[in-house]
Amino acid sequence: MTRKRKIHSNHDDNGSDVEPKPSKKQKISSDEKLTQQSAKQIEVPRIPLHNTAVENMAMPSVGFGTFKLKKTAVKPCLKYSLLNGYTMIDTATIYDNEKEIGQILSSFKRESLFITTKLWRSHQGTDEIVEKQLRLSMKRLGIEQLDLWLMHWPGPGKGMFKKNPCPADWSPSMRASTWKKMVDLHKKGLIKAVGVSNFTVKHLKDLKERTGILPAVNQIELHPFYIPQDILDYCEEEKILITAYSSLGAGSKELLEHETVQTISSKLHRSPAQVLLRWGIQKGAVVIPCSTKEEHIRDNILLFDFEISKEDMAALSSLHCNKRFGWKKDDPNIVP
Protein backbone atom coordinates (compact mmCIF):
# COMPACT_ATOMS: atom_id res chain seq x y z
CA MET A 1 0.00 0.00 0.00
CA THR A 2 1.02 3.57 -0.59
CA ARG A 3 2.15 5.50 2.43
CA LYS A 4 0.37 8.69 3.31
CA ARG A 5 2.18 11.79 2.17
CA LYS A 6 1.48 15.39 1.45
CA ILE A 7 1.55 16.39 -2.18
CA HIS A 8 2.43 19.91 -3.17
CA SER A 9 1.48 21.20 -6.61
CA ASN A 10 1.45 24.41 -8.55
CA HIS A 11 -1.80 26.32 -8.71
CA ASP A 12 -2.84 27.50 -12.15
CA ASP A 13 -5.68 29.59 -13.48
CA ASN A 14 -7.45 26.83 -15.36
CA GLY A 15 -7.58 24.12 -12.77
CA SER A 16 -4.78 21.85 -13.93
CA ASP A 17 -3.19 19.54 -11.40
CA VAL A 18 0.26 20.02 -12.95
CA GLU A 19 3.02 20.09 -10.38
CA PRO A 20 6.29 22.03 -10.27
CA LYS A 21 8.91 21.02 -12.81
CA PRO A 22 10.90 18.13 -11.34
CA SER A 23 14.53 18.42 -10.45
CA LYS A 24 17.14 16.71 -12.61
CA LYS A 25 16.99 13.63 -10.37
CA GLN A 26 13.20 13.51 -10.63
CA LYS A 27 12.92 14.06 -14.38
CA ILE A 28 11.34 11.26 -16.34
CA SER A 29 13.72 9.50 -18.68
CA SER A 30 13.12 10.36 -22.33
CA ASP A 31 15.21 7.51 -23.75
CA GLU A 32 13.11 4.65 -22.37
CA LYS A 33 12.25 2.30 -25.21
CA LEU A 34 8.56 2.50 -26.04
CA THR A 35 6.82 -0.67 -27.06
CA GLN A 36 3.31 -1.89 -26.50
CA GLN A 37 4.72 -5.02 -24.84
CA SER A 38 6.65 -2.98 -22.25
CA ALA A 39 3.57 -1.13 -21.04
CA LYS A 40 2.13 -2.30 -17.73
CA GLN A 41 -1.38 -3.68 -17.94
CA ILE A 42 -3.59 -2.18 -15.22
CA GLU A 43 -7.27 -3.02 -15.13
CA VAL A 44 -9.01 0.35 -15.37
CA PRO A 45 -12.81 0.02 -15.38
CA ARG A 46 -14.62 1.57 -18.33
CA ILE A 47 -17.85 3.53 -18.09
CA PRO A 48 -20.49 3.16 -20.84
CA LEU A 49 -21.12 6.20 -23.04
CA HIS A 50 -24.63 7.12 -24.13
CA ASN A 51 -25.86 9.71 -26.65
CA THR A 52 -23.50 8.29 -29.28
CA ALA A 53 -24.05 6.45 -32.55
CA VAL A 54 -21.37 3.90 -31.65
CA GLU A 55 -22.79 0.84 -29.91
CA ASN A 56 -21.28 -0.40 -26.65
CA MET A 57 -18.77 2.44 -26.45
CA ALA A 58 -17.10 2.92 -23.07
CA MET A 59 -14.57 5.36 -21.63
CA PRO A 60 -11.72 4.55 -19.21
CA SER A 61 -12.50 5.92 -15.76
CA VAL A 62 -8.97 7.36 -15.42
CA GLY A 63 -6.98 9.24 -18.04
CA PHE A 64 -3.85 11.36 -18.25
CA GLY A 65 -4.51 15.11 -18.42
CA THR A 66 -2.10 17.29 -20.39
CA PHE A 67 -3.06 20.90 -19.69
CA LYS A 68 -0.01 23.11 -19.02
CA LEU A 69 2.28 20.54 -20.63
CA LYS A 70 2.99 22.53 -23.78
CA LYS A 71 4.84 21.17 -26.77
CA THR A 72 7.81 18.95 -25.81
CA ALA A 73 7.05 19.24 -22.07
CA VAL A 74 4.27 16.70 -22.54
CA LYS A 75 6.42 13.99 -24.11
CA PRO A 76 8.32 12.42 -21.16
CA CYS A 77 5.26 12.55 -18.89
CA LEU A 78 2.99 11.01 -21.50
CA LYS A 79 5.55 8.31 -22.31
CA TYR A 80 5.75 7.35 -18.69
CA SER A 81 1.98 7.35 -18.20
CA LEU A 82 1.41 5.07 -21.19
CA LEU A 83 4.08 2.70 -19.94
CA ASN A 84 2.37 2.54 -16.56
CA GLY A 85 -1.19 1.60 -17.38
CA TYR A 86 -2.85 4.71 -18.78
CA THR A 87 -4.71 4.29 -22.06
CA MET A 88 -6.70 7.53 -22.18
CA ILE A 89 -5.22 10.93 -23.03
CA ASP A 90 -7.01 14.25 -22.61
CA THR A 91 -5.79 17.25 -24.61
CA ALA A 92 -7.15 20.26 -26.51
CA THR A 93 -6.23 22.42 -29.46
CA ILE A 94 -5.54 25.34 -27.14
CA TYR A 95 -3.11 23.26 -25.04
CA ASP A 96 -0.58 23.47 -27.88
CA ASN A 97 0.67 19.90 -27.56
CA GLU A 98 -1.34 17.76 -30.01
CA LYS A 99 1.59 17.27 -32.41
CA GLU A 100 3.93 16.15 -29.64
CA ILE A 101 1.28 13.83 -28.21
CA GLY A 102 0.88 12.29 -31.66
CA GLN A 103 4.59 11.58 -31.83
CA ILE A 104 4.38 9.59 -28.60
CA LEU A 105 1.15 7.79 -29.50
CA SER A 106 2.70 6.49 -32.72
CA SER A 107 4.65 3.95 -30.63
CA PHE A 108 1.47 2.36 -29.28
CA LYS A 109 -1.36 0.38 -30.83
CA ARG A 110 -4.12 2.79 -31.77
CA GLU A 111 -6.91 0.39 -30.80
CA SER A 112 -5.72 0.32 -27.19
CA LEU A 113 -5.96 4.10 -26.78
CA PHE A 114 -8.81 6.51 -26.03
CA ILE A 115 -8.00 10.02 -27.25
CA THR A 116 -9.92 13.15 -26.35
CA THR A 117 -9.30 16.62 -27.72
CA LYS A 118 -11.35 19.81 -27.79
CA LEU A 119 -12.58 22.54 -30.16
CA TRP A 120 -11.64 25.94 -28.80
CA ARG A 121 -14.21 28.77 -28.61
CA SER A 122 -12.45 30.83 -31.30
CA HIS A 123 -13.27 28.03 -33.75
CA GLN A 124 -17.01 28.03 -33.22
CA GLY A 125 -18.64 29.14 -36.45
CA THR A 126 -19.24 27.82 -39.95
CA ASP A 127 -19.28 24.17 -40.93
CA GLU A 128 -16.05 24.70 -42.87
CA ILE A 129 -14.22 26.12 -39.85
CA VAL A 130 -15.38 23.35 -37.53
CA GLU A 131 -14.46 20.52 -39.89
CA LYS A 132 -11.10 22.13 -40.68
CA GLN A 133 -10.22 22.26 -36.99
CA LEU A 134 -11.15 18.62 -36.45
CA ARG A 135 -9.02 17.50 -39.35
CA LEU A 136 -6.10 19.63 -38.16
CA SER A 137 -6.32 18.11 -34.68
CA MET A 138 -6.40 14.57 -36.09
CA LYS A 139 -3.47 15.33 -38.38
CA ARG A 140 -1.39 16.64 -35.48
CA LEU A 141 -2.35 13.62 -33.37
CA GLY A 142 -1.55 11.28 -36.25
CA ILE A 143 -4.92 9.52 -36.20
CA GLU A 144 -7.71 8.89 -38.69
CA GLN A 145 -10.53 8.74 -36.14
CA LEU A 146 -10.96 10.54 -32.83
CA ASP A 147 -12.54 8.85 -29.83
CA LEU A 148 -14.06 11.95 -28.22
CA TRP A 149 -14.28 15.57 -29.37
CA LEU A 150 -15.50 18.23 -26.94
CA MET A 151 -16.72 21.78 -27.44
CA HIS A 152 -14.31 23.35 -24.96
CA TRP A 153 -16.31 26.34 -23.75
CA PRO A 154 -19.95 27.39 -24.18
CA GLY A 155 -19.23 30.90 -25.47
CA PRO A 156 -17.23 34.09 -24.90
CA GLY A 157 -14.74 34.49 -22.07
CA LYS A 158 -12.42 37.18 -20.74
CA GLY A 159 -9.82 35.24 -18.80
CA MET A 160 -7.63 32.46 -20.16
CA PHE A 161 -6.43 32.54 -23.76
CA LYS A 162 -7.45 36.15 -24.45
CA LYS A 163 -5.69 36.03 -27.82
CA ASN A 164 -8.13 33.36 -29.00
CA PRO A 165 -11.59 34.88 -28.42
CA CYS A 166 -14.95 33.83 -29.78
CA PRO A 167 -15.90 35.20 -33.21
CA ALA A 168 -17.11 38.81 -32.97
CA ASP A 169 -20.58 37.81 -34.17
CA TRP A 170 -20.92 34.97 -31.68
CA SER A 171 -24.38 34.13 -30.34
CA PRO A 172 -26.02 31.09 -28.73
CA SER A 173 -27.25 30.11 -32.19
CA MET A 174 -23.60 29.84 -33.33
CA ARG A 175 -22.95 27.44 -30.46
CA ALA A 176 -25.91 25.36 -31.64
CA SER A 177 -24.78 25.36 -35.29
CA THR A 178 -21.25 24.40 -34.21
CA TRP A 179 -22.70 21.53 -32.20
CA LYS A 180 -24.78 20.35 -35.17
CA LYS A 181 -21.66 20.22 -37.33
CA MET A 182 -19.77 18.29 -34.63
CA VAL A 183 -22.63 15.79 -34.53
CA ASP A 184 -22.60 15.56 -38.33
CA LEU A 185 -18.88 14.73 -38.30
CA HIS A 186 -19.62 12.12 -35.63
CA LYS A 187 -22.28 10.53 -37.83
CA LYS A 188 -19.81 10.47 -40.72
CA GLY A 189 -17.50 8.36 -38.58
CA LEU A 190 -14.66 10.83 -38.03
CA ILE A 191 -15.41 10.89 -34.29
CA LYS A 192 -16.74 8.08 -32.13
CA ALA A 193 -18.43 10.43 -29.63
CA VAL A 194 -18.97 14.15 -29.17
CA GLY A 195 -19.37 16.12 -25.97
CA VAL A 196 -18.91 19.46 -24.28
CA SER A 197 -16.86 21.05 -21.52
CA ASN A 198 -17.73 23.68 -18.93
CA PHE A 199 -21.43 23.60 -19.84
CA THR A 200 -24.02 24.49 -17.23
CA VAL A 201 -27.53 23.04 -17.12
CA LYS A 202 -28.71 26.13 -19.01
CA HIS A 203 -26.29 25.45 -21.86
CA LEU A 204 -27.14 21.74 -21.99
CA LYS A 205 -30.86 22.47 -22.13
CA ASP A 206 -30.28 25.07 -24.83
CA LEU A 207 -28.44 22.51 -26.98
CA LYS A 208 -31.27 20.04 -26.51
CA GLU A 209 -33.94 22.61 -27.38
CA ARG A 210 -32.11 23.91 -30.46
CA THR A 211 -30.77 20.62 -31.85
CA GLY A 212 -32.53 17.77 -30.08
CA ILE A 213 -29.12 16.15 -29.53
CA LEU A 214 -27.39 15.74 -26.18
CA PRO A 215 -23.63 15.28 -25.62
CA ALA A 216 -22.08 12.03 -24.48
CA VAL A 217 -19.77 13.82 -22.01
CA ASN A 218 -19.61 17.08 -20.07
CA GLN A 219 -16.13 17.85 -18.70
CA ILE A 220 -16.38 20.14 -15.69
CA GLU A 221 -14.54 21.17 -12.54
CA LEU A 222 -15.43 18.78 -9.72
CA HIS A 223 -13.83 18.17 -6.32
CA PRO A 224 -15.00 18.27 -2.67
CA PHE A 225 -14.72 22.07 -2.53
CA TYR A 226 -16.85 22.48 -5.68
CA ILE A 227 -19.81 20.17 -6.31
CA PRO A 228 -22.22 21.63 -8.90
CA GLN A 229 -25.06 19.35 -7.89
CA ASP A 230 -27.51 20.76 -10.44
CA ILE A 231 -25.16 19.77 -13.28
CA LEU A 232 -24.50 16.33 -11.77
CA ASP A 233 -28.24 15.67 -11.39
CA TYR A 234 -29.13 16.85 -14.89
CA CYS A 235 -26.32 14.87 -16.50
CA GLU A 236 -27.35 11.74 -14.62
CA GLU A 237 -30.93 12.24 -15.78
CA GLU A 238 -29.86 12.68 -19.42
CA LYS A 239 -27.15 9.98 -19.32
CA ILE A 240 -24.33 12.46 -19.90
CA LEU A 241 -21.06 11.18 -18.43
CA ILE A 242 -19.13 13.64 -16.26
CA THR A 243 -15.38 14.01 -16.68
CA ALA A 244 -13.86 15.84 -13.72
CA TYR A 245 -10.92 18.21 -13.94
CA SER A 246 -9.14 19.87 -11.01
CA SER A 247 -9.83 16.76 -8.96
CA LEU A 248 -6.89 17.70 -6.74
CA GLY A 249 -7.93 21.35 -6.46
CA ALA A 250 -5.29 22.36 -9.01
CA GLY A 251 -2.73 21.06 -6.55
CA SER A 252 -3.88 23.51 -3.89
CA LYS A 253 -2.52 22.82 -0.42
CA GLU A 254 -5.87 24.02 0.88
CA LEU A 255 -7.60 20.92 -0.48
CA LEU A 256 -4.82 18.33 -0.42
CA GLU A 257 -3.87 19.19 3.15
CA HIS A 258 -7.38 19.71 4.49
CA GLU A 259 -7.81 17.89 7.80
CA THR A 260 -10.66 15.73 6.50
CA VAL A 261 -8.69 14.65 3.44
CA GLN A 262 -5.62 13.93 5.54
CA THR A 263 -7.61 11.91 8.10
CA ILE A 264 -9.19 9.70 5.45
CA SER A 265 -5.83 9.38 3.72
CA SER A 266 -4.26 8.12 6.93
CA LYS A 267 -7.13 5.73 7.59
CA LEU A 268 -6.91 4.17 4.14
CA HIS A 269 -3.12 4.30 3.89
CA ARG A 270 -3.47 6.16 0.61
CA SER A 271 -2.15 9.51 -0.54
CA PRO A 272 -4.45 12.55 -0.33
CA ALA A 273 -4.40 12.67 -4.14
CA GLN A 274 -5.60 9.06 -4.37
CA VAL A 275 -8.39 9.80 -1.90
CA LEU A 276 -9.58 12.80 -3.93
CA LEU A 277 -9.41 10.92 -7.22
CA ARG A 278 -11.25 7.93 -5.74
CA TRP A 279 -13.91 10.32 -4.42
CA GLY A 280 -14.47 11.56 -7.98
CA ILE A 281 -14.74 8.02 -9.33
CA GLN A 282 -17.25 7.03 -6.65
CA LYS A 283 -19.25 10.12 -7.59
CA GLY A 284 -19.56 8.52 -11.02
CA ALA A 285 -17.05 10.71 -12.84
CA VAL A 286 -14.05 10.03 -15.06
CA VAL A 287 -10.89 11.65 -13.66
CA ILE A 288 -7.92 13.02 -15.64
CA PRO A 289 -5.07 13.84 -13.24
CA CYS A 290 -1.84 15.32 -14.55
CA SER A 291 1.63 15.17 -13.06
CA THR A 292 5.25 15.57 -14.07
CA LYS A 293 6.53 13.19 -11.38
CA GLU A 294 6.87 9.44 -11.90
CA GLU A 295 5.66 8.51 -8.43
CA HIS A 296 2.52 10.59 -8.72
CA ILE A 297 1.77 9.36 -12.25
CA ARG A 298 1.96 5.77 -10.97
CA ASP A 299 -0.11 6.43 -7.86
CA ASN A 300 -2.81 8.40 -9.67
CA ILE A 301 -4.00 5.31 -11.55
CA LEU A 302 -3.88 2.90 -8.59
CA LEU A 303 -7.42 3.64 -7.47
CA PHE A 304 -9.32 0.38 -7.82
CA ASP A 305 -8.18 -1.81 -4.95
CA PHE A 306 -9.78 0.32 -2.22
CA GLU A 307 -13.04 2.12 -1.55
CA ILE A 308 -14.07 5.14 0.47
CA SER A 309 -16.86 4.35 2.92
CA LYS A 310 -20.27 5.95 2.66
CA GLU A 311 -19.53 7.98 5.81
CA ASP A 312 -16.19 9.23 4.50
CA MET A 313 -17.69 10.08 1.11
CA ALA A 314 -20.24 12.21 2.95
CA ALA A 315 -17.51 13.83 5.02
CA LEU A 316 -15.58 14.78 1.89
CA SER A 317 -18.71 16.06 0.15
CA SER A 318 -19.52 18.20 3.18
CA LEU A 319 -16.44 20.29 2.33
CA HIS A 320 -18.35 21.89 -0.55
CA CYS A 321 -17.98 25.67 -0.30
CA ASN A 322 -18.50 26.65 -3.94
CA LYS A 323 -14.76 27.26 -4.31
CA ARG A 324 -13.51 26.95 -7.88
CA PHE A 325 -9.83 26.65 -8.81
CA GLY A 326 -10.24 26.75 -12.59
CA TRP A 327 -11.26 29.56 -14.91
CA LYS A 328 -11.25 32.15 -12.13
CA LYS A 329 -11.76 35.01 -14.58
CA ASP A 330 -14.24 33.10 -16.74
CA ASP A 331 -17.45 31.94 -15.13
CA PRO A 332 -19.47 29.67 -17.44
CA ASN A 333 -22.60 30.67 -15.52
CA ILE A 334 -22.54 34.13 -17.14
CA VAL A 335 -22.20 32.84 -20.71
CA PRO A 336 -25.55 33.28 -22.52
**Of 80, 86, 95, 234, which residue is the catalytic one?**
95
Per-residue pLDDT at 106: 93
pLDDT per position as a tens digit, 51-107: 999 999 999 999 999 999 999 999 999 999 999 999 999 999 999 999 999 999 999
Q: Which of 205, 125, 217, 196 is nearest to 165 (CA)?
A: 125
Tell me how far apart the alpha carbons of residues 45 and 73 are, in angstroms, rounded to a whole number: 28
**95: annotated active-site residue:** yes
Name residues of the chain where pLDDT drops below 50.
1-15, 18-35, 37
Burial of 190 (0-12, 13-18, 19+ CB in 10 A): middle
pLDDT of residue 30: 42
pLDDT of residue 38: 53
pLDDT at residue number 305: 94
Kindly report the pTM of this predicted structure: 0.89
pLDDT at 170: 85
Q: What is the pLDDT of residue 212?
A: 95
CA gap 35, 53 in Å, rounded: 32
User: pLDDT tens digit string along 20-55?
Assistant: 444 444 444 444 444 454 567 788 999 999 999 999
Maximum C-alpha span of the chain = 55
